[in-house]
Amino acid sequence: MKKKIVLIMSTIAIALSFASLSSASSKINEDPKVKIIIDGKMNKYSKTPINYNGRTMLPFREVLTNLGVQNDDEHIAWNSSDRSVTLTKDDVKVYLKIGSKNATINSQTQALDVEPVIYKGNTYIPARFVSQALGKKVVWDDSSKSVIIRDEQGYNETKTILDKSNAATKDVSRMKSDFTADMKMKIAGQSMSMKMDGKMEIDVKDMIMHLDSNVSGMGINTKMEEYFANNKIYVTDPTTGNWTYTNLDLSDFTKQINQAAVIEASDKMYAGLTVDQSSNPDEIILKGNIYLDGLIKQLGDSFKTAGVNIKSVYMEMTLDKSTYYPKAVKMDMSMSASQKVGEKVETTEVDMTMNYNYTDFNGNYEVKLPDDVAKNATSIAAE
């Protein structure tokens, strides 16, 4: 009888164990689009990052070595008997256990938002908790689905530089710049390329922006001209030369002008850009695998990233060391987008290099919406 009771209890325990595992499994989603950027560099993982209860989880040994933990049994210790991980870096020792929301940092108990899990035979740990335990700043960038991790000293150094640049450019009343964009695309197996170049001028005080650009590729050359003024976007038709306009919400209009005139300063920029040595002592160079939202939006609808998967990105920003005005921005991006055509799903792959050069701040010139454009432009419905 006792044997039967033991057998029944064992069967129930096993059933509950499987139910628990099944329940945990249902909360886990693989998230291959998530990018991990540590100290300005995008790290690759042999095992796919996962989302567990709304938290990004990473394969424990790979993320720990990328965070600077020495990859040996002394510094990364896996205990199979109690299914725990103990990591040691400098004077920090962290203990985590599979299935437990209690961890310790130097013997002090800490509560976790989400417990470490085993998924497909691999141990995953919460990226934010472990990074912060090792003294790192952690920022989530939803636009590019990136976890950006940076040591606090480097974060503060970049923040100081970008905040000075942001303060300097906020006092700018007028500015001019030029830009180029080279794109190589593969659509339904067919390769093609396009180029774009243009000039931009802005009167920040009177909220007027003028864009003059050329697009070439696939045997077509198109000249585009746009004005942002009076809470409207005025666009010329390249075939007829006629002007049309679209109304913009005041907040959207202000945002468009500000994004074009002021370098973005945000947690993701502080965490994602590192200071690099320049051969020119009068320059500061910031670089990293981070993407500048405003720069894409400035260049028109064809560069919007809605619905696009940004696979990789590299950005380099050059600042004047004395004024902290921006001098140049370079960005390399690799993107993809999928679209259903009939019964098939077609994927478009895009590699793009953008160069943006600031040529004049507060010069003696006027940015003005021409009277004939304001008078003759016809309205079109906003898409």
Assign 259 a pLDDT band (cuts: 50, 70, 90): low
Within a domain: 322: yes
Report the mean per-residue pLDDT for the chain.
Answer: 84
Looking at the structure, tell me whether residues 127 and 274 fall in a common domain. Answer: no
Residue 262 has pLDDT above 80, yes or no: no
- Rounded average pLDDT over 6-28: 44
Looking at the structure, tell me whether residues 157 and 47 fall in a common domain. Answer: no
- Rounded average pLDDT over 288-308: 59
- Note the pLDDT of residue 23: 38
Looking at the structure, tell me whether residues 35 and 158 fall in a common domain. Answer: no
Within a domain: 10: no
Looking at the structure, tell me whether residues 54 and 84 fall in a common domain. Answer: yes
Looking at the structure, tell me whether residues 122 and 164 fall in a common domain. Answer: no
**Boundary residue ending a domain (105, 134, 163):** 134
Tell me which range, 29-38, 81-90, 299-308, 335-344, is most confidently predicted by mean pLDDT: 81-90
- Note the pLDDT of residue 11: 42
- Rounded average pLDDT over 158-162: 95
- Rounded average pLDDT over 371-376: 93
Looking at the structure, tell me whether residues 159 and 130 fall in a common domain. Answer: no
- Rounded average pLDDT over 264-276: 90
Within a domain: 157: yes
Which is higher by pLDDT, 23 or 182?
A: 182
**Boundary residue ending a domain (134, 169, 189):** 134
Angle 134-137-141 from CA coordinates, rounded to 5°? 135
Looking at the structure, tell me whether residues 206 and 315 fall in a common domain. Answer: yes
- Note the pLDDT of residue 242: 93
The CATH code of the domain that includes 113 is: 3.30.457.10
Looking at the structure, tell me whether residues 79 and 162 fall in a common domain. Answer: no
Percent of the chain with pLDDT over 90: 58
Domain count along the chain: 2
- Note the pLDDT of residue 218: 80
In Å, how far are 6, 8, 240 from 13, measured between CA atoms? 10, 9, 77
Query: Look-up: residue for tokens 């690099």?
Result: 276
Task: Give every CB contact of residue 226 below 8 A, 6+ residues apart in sequence.
Answer: 209, 210, 211, 213, 233, 234, 235, 236, 300
Task: Give every CB contact of residue 376 below 8 A, 6+ residues apart in sequence.
Answer: 242, 243
- DSSP assigned state of 44: P
pLDDT in tens, 75-120: 999 999 999 999 999 999 999 999 999 999 999 999 999 999 999 9
Residue 282 has pLDDT above 50, yes or no: yes
Residue 45 has pLDDT above 70, yes or no: yes
Percent of the chain with pLDDT over 70: 86
Integer Cα distance of 314 and 380 in angstroms = 37
Within a domain: 54: yes
Within a domain: 14: no
Looking at the structure, tell me whether residues 38 and 88 fall in a common domain. Answer: yes
- Note the pLDDT of residue 383: 45
pLDDT in tens, 131-145: 999 999 999 988 778
Strand order in the sheet with 122-126: 28-30, 50-52, 55-59, 122-126, 117-119
Looking at the structure, tell me whether residues 67 and 163 fall in a common domain. Answer: no
- Rounded average pLDDT over 231-237: 92
Within a domain: 12: no
Integer Cα distance of 149 and 146 in angstroms = 9
The CATH code of the domain that includes 218 is: 2.50.20.20
- Note the pLDDT of residue 291: 73
Which is higher by pLDDT, 14 or 199?
A: 199
Within a domain: 292: yes
- Rounded average pLDDT over 152-174: 92
Q: Which domain holds residue 46?
A: 26-134
**Boundary residue ending a domain (66, 101, 134):** 134
- Note the pLDDT of residue 217: 87
Which is higher by pLDDT, 194 or 18?
A: 194
Within a domain: 142: no
- Note the pLDDT of residue 277: 84
Which is higher by pLDDT, 278 or 3?
A: 278
Looking at the structure, tell me whether residues 125 and 195 fall in a common domain. Answer: no
In Å, how far are 181, 193, 236, 347 from 190, measured between CA atoms? 20, 10, 30, 11
Looking at the structure, tell me whether residues 208 and 289 fall in a common domain. Answer: yes
